[in-house]
Amino acid sequence: MNKAVCGLTLCFVAGSGLARESVLEEVLVTAQKREQNVQDIPVTINVVSAETIDNFSIRNTADLADSVPGLVIQPTPQNLAQVTMRGLGTGSASESLDQSVGLFIDGVWSGRVRDFQSALFDIERVEVIKGTQNTLLGKNTSLGALSIVTRRPGEEWSGYIQGDYETRFDSAYLSGALNMPTAFGAYRLAFNAVDEGGYVDNRATGNEVPEREQNTLRLSARYDVLETGLLDLSFEYDDLRIRGDTFQPDADTLGFMQAMDPTADIGLDGNKNAFTSYSSAGDADDEQTSRRALAQYEQLLGGHTLTLLTGWSMFDNDRLTDTDFLSVDYLTSIFSSDYEQFTQELRIASPVGDKLDYIVGVYYHDSDLDYANITDSSFPPPFTIGPLPVDSSSLLTYQQDTRILSTFGKADVYLGANWQLALGLRYTEEDKDALWGRERLRSGGPAADILANLFSPEVAPTDLHRSEHNLDGSVSLQFDWSDGLTQYASWASGSKSGGFTNNVARPEDAEFETEKAETLELGVKWRLGQGKGLLNAALYHTDIDDFQVVSFVGTGFLTSTVPARSRGVELETRWLVSPGLELGASATYADAREKDTDLRLPYAPEWSASADVSWLLPVQAWGLAWRLEGALNYRDEQFQQRLETSPDNALTLLDLRLGLGRPDGRWEVALIGRNLLDESSSFGFDFPFFGGQVLPAGSTTIGSVSRPRTLAVQGRYRF
């Protein structure tokens, strides 16, 4: 009888009379609501392992995106995630917008833009699922999905603790978990603590920014119910605070910002000079408390599997942005958003058979968003728009209730020994009710009111309603040339619901249409070298009507709908060169453009690629082992605003880790270097209220720098 012994990156297969042989470890995913080998399904999926996340201290989704070609997650001044996949995604400016790249945590949709602040810890894996995925995943996955799978309680007493100390910016990270099986269920308690120092010196406040503190606790439980039932429960509490930001004047070719503030530090570097009297510390501030609960019950019914998945989550967020980015007190924005959602999914999956497999289900979603934004502007003469002063304060309020009911199904038909046909369909009804209003808190006088009434007029609370019905589908044809070689062709249509944006002057301009996407993909997945290697490739074309693109236009954010498309190629290879040496590489080419103008879309680098190495070198004399790991990640230049403005240069990130510990992984100490080439990306836009309006576009811009080179000491102990 053969026995498989699997380690972190490879498996040894041994049997009576067989030589010991090493192969790549099988990677299992649940992207299609079943546990499947990623090499056996006709979908492009990049899997980031728990080992990679732990070893390189990947603590949030922005860090995660740096290691996945084709995925961009760019923070903004309000700490809203700008997410694109294959060059396509939803702008971050309006929190009322749904995301077209869905975020799922343990199978539950969590796709509000603030949910991308969730901590990554005690993770089983992260699945980056590319292309249109509405049929099974649903809820706004027209351009892809990011699925985070946390670790579940196990059957043995075990645990771990890991600490990282980063020397240059005095940052500390601590995480751990304890697995506790009992006679009545198994339990797991996991925690994460981040105390991250800033890397930009704000000379006006004396603070190093941004400082990030995040503390998260997760308790999960698993119970056997009768003989064939399994109940999983979890609850997570997260407390986040970010003090300060790195945004600063980048260009000031006309001397406008220096005229407003003679102490302005022009140019992107490690220094800034900004102050706001609205904050006790003088810096921008962001505080968020989140809670998340899940209940999943699986029951075998005559070979079928019944799954009930219940999710509840909420967050309270308050943040302040020093929107003039100077030491003067001319422009400040204050935001508050409270969100709560409840979801319920019921599905039935057939047993895996010889002729037909299927999954059918229903999904219900109910969520409430309460949003408020105070904008206070007080620009003294001569900083006016024409003869009119910019001097007023207003409060915008927005409340939205969303209700969704959808039914879905997918069938896999086996056409002979080698052919497989998959058909999927999803029908969704969605209703959104919103209340949109604005009131004046302060007037700068009759002349100032002229501009205030133009850009931010008073609006009595106005009811808005939208109802839509969407039908999405998918078809794929798969041919298995052998056990290790699969070729497929797939087509999928998906929708991202329309709705209302709160970043317009009047509610009658707030509504936008449903975003419809169609993706065609041709791919091959190939196991090579008797399981020692793999090679995957895919050609894709995504076409979108009413693509929702967000641009900063000087007076605020503008949501436009334009026809767009993205086409390109995905490549991935991995090789187990020897039992201790593994090499991997992947790349994405994405040509994402507006169809009418042929201009490149924002956050759409044409090329992005990554390469990684893991080398385990035993030291038999010590009974220990060295582990060397490296990751090289590259993305091409990209534009940060629509119409090919605010370019950001190409970025190459090199991370290395050298560890020493027991070969079985019980303990290890390591030295980690991140961004060793000390390269920096930026986020840029024209200065608020003036950029592209009175001043020529591009003459006065704001930007930020990413985290520079860091070195850290890491220690881990498993028990």
pLDDT tens column, 443-500: 999 999 998 998 889 999 999 999 999 999 999 999 999 999 999 999 999 998 888 9
Nearest to 635 by CA among 47, 69, 185: 69
Examine the pLDDT at 396 and tell me if it is beyond 60. Answer: yes
Examine the pLDDT at 3 and tell me if it is beyond 80. Answer: no
Q: Are strands 388-415 and 3-6 parallel, antiparallel or unpaired?
A: unpaired
Calculate mean pLDDT across residues 624-650.
90
Examine the pLDDT at 416 and tell me if it is beyond 90. Answer: no
More confident residue, 495 or 646: 495
More confident residue, 7 or 286: 286
- Determine the pLDDT at residue 319: 94
- Determine the pLDDT at residue 646: 79
- Determine the pLDDT at residue 443: 94
Nearest to 576 by CA among 168, 24, 2, 14: 24
Contacts of 17 (CB under 8 A, 6+ apart): none
Structurally, the chain folds into a number of domains equal to: 1
- Determine the pLDDT at residue 17: 36
Sorting pLDDT into bands at 50, 70 and 90, what band is 553? low
pLDDT tens column, 688-698: 655 556 677 77
pLDDT tens column, 48-100: 999 999 999 888 888 888 889 999 888 777 788 788 999 998 876 678 888 88
Q: Rounded CA gap, 143 and 85, in Å? A: 7
Examine the pLDDT at 528 and tell me if it is beyond 80. Answer: yes
Calculate mean pLDDT across residues 217-233.
96
Contact 536, 528 (CB under 8 A): no
* Least confident stretch, 134-138, 141-145, 221-225, 681-685: 681-685
Examine the pLDDT at 239 and tell me if it is beyond 70. Answer: yes
Identify the three-state secondary structure at position 590: strand
Q: Which domain holds residue 357?
A: 3-718
Q: Is 325 exposed, middle or buried (0-12, 13-18, 19+ CB in 10 A)?
A: buried
- Determine the pLDDT at residue 556: 56
- Determine the pLDDT at residue 690: 58
Sorting pLDDT into bands at 50, 70 and 90, what band is 599? very high
Calculate mean pLDDT across residues 510-536.
94
Calculate mean pLDDT across residues 396-419.
95
Share of the chain above pLDDT 70, in %: 94
693 φψ region: left (φ > 0), alpha (ψ -120 to 50), beta (else): alpha
pLDDT tens column, 363-380: 999 999 999 999 999 988
Q: Rounded CA gap, 249 and 327, in Å? A: 11
664, 531, 32, 415 alpha-carbon torsion, rounded to 10°: -150
Sorting pLDDT into bands at 50, 70 and 90, what band is 15? very low
Q: Extract the tokens encoding 169.
A: 């910016």
Q: What is the mean pLDDT of the chain?
A: 90
What length does the chain have?
719
Examine the pLDDT at 5 and tell me if it is beyond 70. Answer: no
Calculate mean pLDDT across residues 312-318.
97
Sorting pLDDT into bands at 50, 70 and 90, what band is 386? confident
Q: Rounded CA gap, 208 and 215, in Å? A: 20
Contact 719, 158 (CB under 8 A): yes
Calculate mean pLDDT across residues 98-105.
90
CATH number at residue 509: 2.40.170.20
- Determine the pLDDT at residue 168: 92
Sorting pLDDT into bands at 50, 70 and 90, what band is 286? very high
Strand partners, 166: 171, 712
- Determine the pLDDT at residue 18: 35
- Determine the pLDDT at residue 92: 65
Sorting pLDDT into bands at 50, 70 and 90, what band is 667? very high
Q: Rounded CA gap, 578 and 570, in Å? A: 26
32, 38, 39, 41 alpha-carbon torsion, rounded to 10°: 10
pLDDT tens column, 18-56: 334 689 999 999 999 999 999 999 999 999 999 999 999
Sorting pLDDT into bands at 50, 70 and 90, what band is 2? very low
Q: What is the CA radius of gyration of the chain?
A: 26
Identify the three-state secondary structure at position 368: strand
Calculate mean pLDDT across residues 305-314.
97
Contact 635, 679 (CB under 8 A): no
Q: Label residues 410-424 b or e (16+ Cβ within 10 Å = b).
A: bebeeeeeeebebeb
Examine the pLDDT at 125 and tell me if it is beyond 90. Answer: yes
CB atoms within 10 A of CB 105: 20
Sorting pLDDT into bands at 50, 70 and 90, what band is 387? confident
Examine the pLDDT at 557 and tell me if it is beyond 70. Answer: no
Examine the pLDDT at 120 and tell me if it is beyond 60. Answer: yes
Calculate mean pLDDT across residues 144-160.
95
Q: Rounded CA gap, 152 and 54, in Å? A: 16
More confident residue, 705 or 402: 402
Q: Label residues 643-668 b or e (16+ Cβ within 10 Å = b).
A: eebbebeebebbbbbebbbeeebeeb
- Determine the pLDDT at residue 716: 97
